[in-house]
Structure formats: structure tokens, C-alpha cells
Amino acid sequence: MGYLGNKLQGKYHKDTFQTAVNMAWPAIVESFFIAFAGLVDSLMVSSLGS
């Protein structure tokens, strides 16, 4: 494919990766907060049985 073709292909993959990251980061942050809320909920409920 040659040097220019490889360079363009790398740029395409970089743009695609950047687009995917830009779309995915809110879902990743939301997943973290849901897991954290579950942890806090478990800690609060576990103190009721004592």
C-alpha cells in the first residue's frame, strides 16, 4: 500500500478510536457511579443487621 496509504490508514483508525472514546466515556462514568452507589447501599444496609 505504500507509506502514504499506511499513514492515512493510521489516521483513520486514530479518528475512529477517538470517536469511540468520546461516545463511550459517559457510559463508563455512569457505570462507575452505579457500582459506587451499590457499594454505599450495601454498607448502609449491612449496618441494620448489627
Asked if residue 48 has pLDDT above 70, the reply is yes
* Residue 2 zone, left/alpha/beta (φ > 0; ψ -120 to 50; rest): left
Q: Of 5 and 34, which is predicted with more confidence?
A: 34
- Evaluate whether residue 7 is within a structural domain: no
Mean pLDDT, rounded, for 9-15: 74
pLDDT exceeds 80 at position 35: yes
- Total domains in the chain come to 1
User: Is residue 39 in a domain?
Assistant: yes
Percentage of residues in the chain with pLDDT exceeding 90?
A: 54
pTM for the structure as a whole = 0.61
Confidence class for position 13, pLDDT limits 50, 70, 90: confident
Whether residue 12 lies inside any domain: the answer is no
Quick check: is 1 in a domain? no
For residue 32, give its domain range: 25-50
Say if residues 34 and 42 touch (Cβ distance below 8 Å): no
